[in-house]
């Protein structure tokens, strides 16, 4: 256990902590971290757990090496609405994305058509291609739901 925190208010208490686990699946070691929140009520002078919530903390995503020439097909402008665009450029060998009105962000590859921002699990960019291999759209994946941005330039 790590990062243990507790709060008591009268006859109610909430404790949260990170459960650091080691698991072996078919001989391969996994090290997930679970965020646990337990809720207790004091009844008849005894603390009793009434609820527990456990979620797994996402691990840092790993990048892969892709051919930098692939970036050229992704560079361009994508449109969600006429007023909301996302522009992708190259800065040296880095792929940079910028939504209208927001700061630039580096996109790193998960595979040849999927990119993400380091440090976040939200906003994965998946590039859809036509039968000729041309990028036609960017899928902005959020919790496995896609917003489709059409490539305009």
Instruction: Quote the percentage of the chain above a pLDDT of 90.
Output: 84
Tokens of 135: 């990028």
Residues 50, 14: one domain? yes
pLDDT at residue 76, rounded to an integer: 97
Residue 126 inside a domain? The answer is yes
Residues 85, 139: one domain? yes
Neighbours of 133 (CB within 10 A): 7
Residue 63 inside a domain? The answer is no
Q: Return the ∠ at Cα 87 (arms to 101 and 131), rounded to 5°.
A: 145
From 126, 121, 122, select the one nearest 137 (Cα to Cα). Answer: 126
Residues 81, 119: one domain? yes
Q: What is the mean pLDDT of the chain?
A: 94
Tokens of 4: 């243990």
Supply the range of the domain harboring residue 98: 69-151
pLDDT at residue 123, rounded to an integer: 80
Residues 42, 96: one domain? no
Distance between CA 111 and CA 136 in Å, rounded?
17
Mean pLDDT in residue range 130-151:
94
Residue 62 inside a domain? The answer is no
Residues 77, 48: one domain? no
Distance between CA 100 and CA 77 in Å, rounded?
10
What single DSSP character describes residue 91?
Answer: E
pLDDT at residue 118, rounded to an integer: 84
Any idea what the CATH number is for the domain that residue 6 is in? 3.10.450.50
Residue 64 inside a domain? The answer is no
Q: Which helix or strand (DSSP H or E) is residue 69 part of?
A: helix 69-74
Tokens of 129: 């291609």
Residues 53, 7: one domain? yes
pLDDT at residue 120, rounded to an integer: 81
Of residues 139 and 119, the one with the higher pLDDT is 139
pLDDT digits (tens, 9 = 90+) for 42-95: 999 999 999 999 999 888 888 898 988 889 999 999 999 999 999 999 999 899
Q: Which helix or strand (DSSP H or E) is residue 80 part of?
A: strand 76-81
């Amino acid at each position: 256990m790590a990062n243990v925190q507790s709060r008591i208010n009268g006859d109610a208490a909430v404790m949260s902590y990170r459960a650091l686990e080691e698991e072996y699946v078919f001989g391969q070691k996994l090290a997930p971290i679970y965020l646990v929140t337990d809720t207790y009520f004091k009844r008849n002078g005894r603390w009793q757990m009434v609820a527990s919530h456990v979620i797994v903390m996402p691990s840092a995503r790993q990048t892969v090496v892709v051919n930098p020439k692939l970036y050229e097909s992704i560079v361009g402008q994508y449109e969600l609405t006429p007023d909301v665009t996302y522009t992708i450029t190259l800065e040296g060998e880095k792929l940079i994305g910028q939504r209208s009105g927001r700061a630039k962000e580096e996109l790193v590859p998960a595979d040849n058509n999927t990119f993400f921002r380091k440090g976040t699990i939200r906003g994965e960019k998946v590039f859809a291609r036509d039968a000729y291999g041309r990028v036609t759209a960017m899928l902005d994946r959020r919790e496995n739901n896609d917003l489709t941005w059409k490539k305009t330039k």
